Amino acid sequence: MLRITNAGTTSRLIQYLQTTQTRLAETQGRMASGRRINKPSDDPFGNSRVMAMRTSMGLIAQHQRSIELAKSELGVTEASLDGLGRVLSRAQELAVQADSTTVDASGRAAIAVEIDSLLQEVVTIGNTSYGGRHIFGGYQTGAQPFTPDAPANATAVTFNGDAGVIARSIGNGETVAVNLDGQALFGGIFTSLIDFRDALNANDRAGIASASTALGLDADTALRARGEIGARVRHTELAAQRLEGDEAQFQIQISQLEDADLTQEAMDLQMRDTALQAALSATAKSLTTGLIAFLR
């Protein structure tokens, strides 16, 4: 009977010893990794929440990359519109100058040369590309959207693109358009500049006055487009800030679920190490007592 009792006690002590060693090893693992959850079984519910939040953070990262691309594309469009605005401003100055009674036919012909140069500059702006994609061609991003019928003194500029809208994702179900309708923006400008140049060469003051009015309307169109792009830039910036806030909140929640309380873990480590030493001592005594009893 004594042998059975000792054997049972020893078995329970060994089981307790193994449990204590396992818990000590788990505590040491948390101390080493700094994480409370090192494998799913440590906290199945907490682990599933962490995995879901990491998936959401992955989507946030995708949106952030898309936002950076959108901001770059909008920045190029914005710069192009700034250049267009400067060209139109110069054209309007020349229109006022050309309409003066002090300017003769030869003076207007000289202005016509500069207007033709401005026309070519607008074609270049209209064919602006970013990352190998033309920004004013709609979906037809591979080819130049505007083709003049002659390198100089063009009488028409053909639009090779379409009105397709290029949109970038900036959040769940939220997009921002990064391009403008090239034909709607540039078509009238080309016509106005060509008409203005031709009126200058013909020394036609009525035609010059008409072209001046048209250029004023074109400048308003370009200014509205500039404002639209500016609004889209602000929209993407706000979306980026919102995503940064969401990302920070997810990181906080993941940390709360996943990170170990190192102060508490250090206390647990000391307690479990003490318990292990006590278990080892008790087991050793039990084995010694059992051996002595057996020898008797």
213 and 284 in one domain? no
CATH of the domain at 95: 1.20.1330.10
Question: 14 — phi, psi (to 5°)?
Answer: -65, -40
Range of the domain at 78: 59-252
pLDDT score, position 90: 98
278 and 170 in one domain? no
d(CA 84, CA 76): 12
Domain count, the chain: 2
274 and 165 in one domain? no
Strand, coil or helix: what is 112?
A: helix
pLDDT score, position 5: 52
Identify the weakest region by mean pLDDT among 65-74, 139-148, 234-243, 256-265: 256-265
In degrees, rounded to 5, the angle at the alpha carbon of residue 295 between the alpha carbons of residues 293 and 296 is: 65
Residue 292 has pLDDT above 60, yes or no: no
Question: 294 — phi, psi (to 5°)?
Answer: -65, -40
223 and 160 in one domain? yes
Residue 220 has pLDDT above 50, yes or no: yes
111 and 89 in one domain? yes
Instruction: State both tokens at 78.
Output: 């914005």
Question: 252 — phi, psi (to 5°)?
Answer: -65, -45
Top pLDDT among 279 and 202 is at 202
pLDDT band at 42 (very low <50, low <70, confident <90, very high): confident
Mean pLDDT along residues 52-77:
96
Cα–Cα nearest to 72, from 178, 163, 181, 169: 178
pLDDT, the chain, mean: 86
Residue 94 has pLDDT above 80, yes or no: yes
Q: Is residue 53 part of a domain?
A: no
pLDDT score, position 4: 47
141 and 273 in one domain? no
Q: Is residue 52 part of a domain?
A: no
Q: Is residue 46 part of a domain?
A: no
Task: Please give the full DSSP string across 49-62, using - where no structure is assigned.
Answer: HHHHHHHHHHHHHH
Q: Is residue 18 part of a domain?
A: yes
Q: At 101, which amino acid appears?
A: T
